[in-house]
Amino acid sequence: MSKVVWQAIKCQYCERVDEEVALEARLVFPMDYLPDQPPRVLEYRCSKGLACNNVDKAMCVWAGSLPMYDPFYA
């Protein structure tokens, strides 16, 4: 059976929440009999995305409130 996990890809300081945040990817690892296959990325999220959504101003693309600002690739 395949394995699905959230794995941190990149960590950095976010000035908008004033904390260290992580960009996480939801990965699907192949079954045991397919060991040469790389994991497949299903989706991305920020570890503090829910906290950002509780603030009254637009934050970033990972919080879903400001699609033009990406702090991980800026």
C-alpha to C-alpha distance for 60 and 38, rounded to whole angstroms: 29
Q: 49-58, pLDDT tens digit by residue?
A: 888 888 777 7
Greater model confidence, 20 or 31: 20
Q: Model pTM?
A: 0.74
Quick: pLDDT tens for 23-49: 999 999 888 776 688 889 999 888 888
Averaged confidence pLDDT in the chain? 85
Helix (H) or strand (E) run with residue 53 in it: helix 49-53
Angle at 39 between CA 36 and CA 41, to 5 degrees: 155
Q: Minimal CA–CA distance to 60: which of 14, 18, 19, 25? A: 14
Q: Which sequence spans correspond to the domains of the chain?
A: 1-74
- H or E element at residue 52: helix 49-53
